[in-house]
Each structure stands twice: as structure tokens, then as C-alpha cells.
Amino acid sequence: MNKKISRRDFLKAALASIGTIGGAAASAKLVGNANAAPFLDGGGDKHNEMMGPHGMVGVNGEVDHEANGFNPTDMLTDFDYGEVTQENGQTVHTYNFVAVDKLIEMMPGIEFPAWTYNGRIPGPTIRATEGDRIRLNFQNGSEHPHTIHFHGIHSYEMDGVPGAGPGLIQPGEKFTYEFDAEPFGLHLYHCHAFPLARHIAKGLYGAYIVDPKDGWPEVDREFVMVMSGLDIDFDDENDFYMVNGIPFHYQINPIDIKVGEKIRIFLVNMLEFDLLNSFHLHANFFHYYPTGTSLTPSEFTDTILQTAAQRGILEFTYKQPGLFMFHAHNTEFAELGWTGNFNVTE
Ligand SMILES: [Cu+2]
């Protein structure tokens, strides 16, 4: 029996007997009723009744976004500039982050005991201009020690790892991370407490965009997409895959764009437990800017690969209307949630 089938069989067995998945004290719980449960491709010959649009596997129903306190559709564009002030000629962006333990309904009927920044997965998308100051007041309101480790250039004390500066921020404690936003590009932040994969996979990560001083070339729409996985039973294997927190979200809720619009996607890979992730765009090609640190694209393609913490900017335009898929071309990931649609209209 291969790993893929055993994972899915586990989930099907768990869903068949509504109760606590995994049995461990901290594992995910099934809530609601069986009608709201996700349906899964069991592999082999039993999947025909489970097909969604385009022959992809999907879910029945939606999670309760209101109860979760965030909606992946809104997260596409909720760039957070913080509280913006001027100090000695420098623009300062002040953020308040709180680490919160929170039950989040990540699949219909399945609540995951997440660790979050500000109650959401991913955390807020931090955005500033090259040379601005980032000042982030961090408070640990959870039951575990955490940090915030930023990618980008900064001092040792502000690196957000155990032993550097304040090191681990203990429950109830506070620390202010402060540094200049550099270099321009697309970056990320995440907790750097150990075990690292667990702290990240529980939800402590987000995107960090540094705009060039003179701005990016003009586009019509900008979206942020943070790819990750969901390990429901804490066996260090992903059970679902997603963009912006909720598996299958953009399959059920296509992203509306127009023919001829220039689209820019800030794409970040925060996937743990699997080596690689990917992004494939249907019926189109995109220009790709790895890490967003150059204004000249490195590639004109329809599929790119990212390992953990790799990220890049995609730019494209649709010439014709239609419902166009985008998804991981690791097909298993797509079938387990990492799939979506652009709804392109005139
Ligand atoms: Cu942590």
C-alpha cells in the first residue's frame, strides 16, 4: 500500500465514524454533520461520484468563514500597510501581531487546532516600500513559545530565532521587531520556534511584500497567494493542500478577472512535510520573477516549482473569457485541495 492511498483511507475511515480524528488530545475534531464532510478520491475505481467541475475532486459545501474570522477571497487583496507614520523623514509601518491558539474550520466539518498570527492563516500580508521602517509589536497570547522570523535583511537581534536578541517569546510576553524593509521583492515571515515544521504547519506564517522605491510596473489587479498544507492528524504528512488557508476555496469561489487585465500574483510557498510545490496556469503563460527581486522576468512559462520558503511574482493576461483552472501540477496536491479557477469575463 503506498503512502497516498493510506493517507486517504485514514481520512475516509475517520469521516465514516464522526468523532475525534487521531485520538490525540490536540488533534483535529469533526464538527457538524456528515453531509458537510469533505468527499475524497479514494484512488483506483471508486472516485467517479466524487468529481467536481473539470473532473477534479472537491468538497461538499463551505467552511464557516465568518466563524473563522477570515475569508480567502478577501485575503487575495488585503495588503496590510499597518499604521503609517513619519519619523525623521522615514515612513514607519507599525503592526500589532498577537499569537493566538484557535480552532479553525479548514474543511467543511473539520476544525483544526491552529496556531495563528492575529487569528488567521496565513497571517496578515505585510506591505511596505523599500527603505521604509517595519515596527512590529508582537505579543504571545498562545500557550507555546513563538517568534517571528522575517526573510529580508536585518540585524542579528531582529532575526526572530531562539538565542538571537530576545529569542523565544514566551506565553504572555511581548517583543517589538524593528528593521528597514529591504531588499525589494516578495518575502515571508514565520515562527522559528522548534520543532520548526510543526510551528509553521500549525499556521504561523505570512507574506511580506517590499515594493521597489519607484514602484512595480503598473498592472490592473494584484493578488497574494500563500501555498501550504494541512496535517490534520499530526503525523508529519499533509492530508490537504491549499492556497490562503482553506483547501478548495478558489475552486468553489472562482477569482473574477476581466479579459485584457494585467494580473500580478505574489506567490509564496510555505508548505512543510513535502519537498516541492508548484503552480500551473491553464490556457495561458506567465512571466515569472523569482523572489521578485528583479524587474526583468527570468522565465515565460505555464508552470513553476517552489520548495519551502521560495516565492516569486507571476504576471499574465487572459485574451479570452472562460473558467480557467490554476493548481499545483503535483496532481495529488491538486486533488487534495490545491486547485482553483479564474473566472475571466469580457
Ligand atoms: Cu511557534
* Residue where one domain finishes, among candidates 167, 182, 211: 211
* φ, ψ (nearest 5 deg) of residue 278: -150, 165
From the CA of 19, how far away is ligand 1's center (Å)? 28
Number of neighbours of residue 101 by Cβ within 10 angstroms: 17
From the CA of 146, how far away is ligand 1's center (Å)? 4
Cβ pair 129, 181 in contact under 8 A: yes
From the CA of 168, how far away is ligand 1's center (Å)? 9
Q: Does some domain include residue 136?
A: yes
From the CA of 200, how far away is ligand 1's center (Å)? 7
Domain with 75, as residue range(s), is 65-211
Q: Does some domain include residue 58?
A: no
Report how far apart, in Å, the C-alpha atoms of 240 and of each of 34, 59, 100, 219, 230 are: 18, 12, 22, 32, 5
Cβ pair 97, 136 in contact under 8 A: yes
* Residue where one domain finishes, among candidates 211, 235, 261: 211
Residues 88 and 183 in one domain: yes
Exposure string for 186-210, b = 16+ CB within 10 A, e = fewer: bbbbbbbbeeeebbbbbbbbbbbbb
Q: What is the pTM assigned to this prediction?
A: 0.87
Residues 205 and 225 in one domain: no
Residues 39 and 97 in one domain: no
From the CA of 148, how far away is ligand 1's center (Å)? 8
From the CA of 192, how far away is ligand 1's center (Å)? 6
CA dihedral in degrees (98, 102, 107, 108; nearest 10)? -130
Residues 133 and 228 in one domain: no
C-alpha cell of residue 185: 521583492
Q: Does some domain include residue 57?
A: no
* φ, ψ (nearest 5 deg) of residue 219: -135, 175
Per-residue tens of pLDDT for the chain, all 346 residues: 344 445 555 554 444 443 334 333 345 655 543 334 444 443 333 333 344 444 455 677 899 999 999 999 999 999 999 999 999 999 999 999 999 999 999 999 999 999 999 999 999 999 999 999 999 999 999 999 999 999 999 999 999 999 999 999 999 999 999 999 999 999 999 999 999 999 999 999 999 999 999 999 999 999 999 999 999 999 999 999 999 999 999 999 999 999 999 999 999 999 999 999 999 999 999 999 999 999 999 999 999 999 999 999 999 999 999 999 999 999 999 999 999 999 999 9
Q: What pLDDT, on a 0 to 100 scale, did the predictor assign at position 35?
A: 39
Residues 93 and 129 in one domain: yes
Q: What pLDDT, on a 0 to 100 scale, did the predictor assign at position 29?
A: 59
Residues 81 and 130 in one domain: yes
State whether residue 274 is helix, strand or coil. coil
Report how far apart, in Å, the C-alpha atoms of 144 and of each of 188, 230, 304, 308, 335 are: 21, 20, 35, 23, 33
CA dihedral in degrees (182, 317, 271, 303; nearest 10)? -110
Residues 32 and 91 in one domain: no
State whether residue 155 is helix, strand or coil. coil
Host H or E run for residue 73: helix 72-75
Cβ pair 169, 147 in contact under 8 A: yes
Q: What pLDDT, on a 0 to 100 scale, did the predictor assign at position 41?
A: 40
Report how far apart, in Å, the C-alpha atoms of 111 and of each of 63, 114, 122, 226 are: 9, 9, 16, 20
How many whole angstroms separate alpha carbon 305 and alpha carbon 241?
15
Q: What pLDDT, on a 0 to 100 scale, did the predictor assign at position 344?
A: 98
Q: What pLDDT, on a 0 to 100 scale, did the predictor assign at position 61?
A: 83
Q: Give the total number of structural domains in the chain.
A: 3
Residues 201 and 241 in one domain: no
* Residue where one domain finishes, among candidates 143, 178, 211: 211
Bridging pattern class, strands 240-243 and 255-258: unpaired
Residue 139: give its domain's CATH number.
Answer: 2.60.40.420
From the CA of 61, how far away is ligand 1's center (Å)? 31
From the CA of 244, how far away is ligand 1's center (Å)? 19
From the CA of 174, how far away is ligand 1's center (Å)? 14
DSSP annotation of 236 reads S
Residues 194 and 231 in one domain: no
Residues 89 and 207 in one domain: yes
Residues 86 and 175 in one domain: yes
From the CA of 142, how far away is ligand 1's center (Å)? 9
Residues 207 and 74 in one domain: yes
Q: What pLDDT, on a 0 to 100 scale, did the predictor assign at position 31?
A: 53
State whether residue 198 is helix, strand or coil. helix
